A = this chain, B = another copy of it.
Amino acid sequence: MRQIEISRATMGRIPTYLKYLKDKALKTENISATTLAKELGLGEVQVRKDLGAVSGAGRPKTGYNVSELIAVLEKFLAHDENSNVVIVGAGKLGRALLDYGGFRDYGLDIMAAFDKAVDTPEKSNLGKPVYSMDMLDDFCKENNIRIGVIAVPAQSAQEVCDRFIKNGIKAIWCFAPCTLDVPDNIPVQYENMALSLAYLNKKI
């Protein structure tokens, strides 16, 4: 599949477009970027750019066919391959992520969490499984897990990272305040909570 280069800001707006279009789809056949921009309170140039990046330009006068546009946006978010995710570390943060509903908007499935403090399988508040670390390797293989989330303290993060990579995980989302040693072909996204807040503090 062609790797689509798209900004994080554009990607952030796609669920907004989708939500609006799904309400609108039953009522109209076509929609213009101008209408979308007006209804969503966004700039028209921005809407054209966003939709252009994902779907191509709309037709002159008529704009976009609503059902086609929905299909394209959904396909973009869903990704061609699976988007199965596991979390290691089932503390407060790990469990908050496990039960967070917003990931579905982006076609991501947080399937389970694993924790060394867990012996017999548990369920999260919303019924997602929390397993012992013994079960991680088999689970990753059986479910073709694509992304691993690290929600353990910094001193255990590299060990978890190595285990993810051994199990064929393709990318890592790291909440531990550390720098991981990973092969060049494995993207890592670090989530630095403190930095976000500090940055906000500077804006006041």
**Residues in chain A within 8 A of chain B (CB atoms):** 3-4, 6, 8, 11-12, 77, 79, 83, 85, 91-93, 95-97, 99-100, 102-103, 105-108, 125, 146-147, 149, 170-171, 173, 177, 187, 189, 191-204
- A189 engages B198 (CB within 8 Å): no
A106 to B196, CA, bound (A): 10
What's the number of copies of this chain in the assembled complex?
2
Residues of chain B with a CB closer than 8 A to A198's CB: 11, 77, 103, 106-108
Residues of chain B with a CB closer than 8 A to A8's CB: 195, 199
29 A–B pairs (Cβ distance < 8 Å), ordered by A: A3-B202, A11-B199, A12-B195, A77-B198, A79-B201, A91-B96, A92-B92, A92-B99, A93-B93, A96-B96, A100-B193, A102-B177, A106-B194, A106-B198, A106-B201, A107-B198, A108-B194, A108-B197, A146-B201, A147-B200, A147-B201, A149-B197, A170-B204, A171-B200, A171-B201, A171-B204, A187-B204, A189-B196, A189-B203
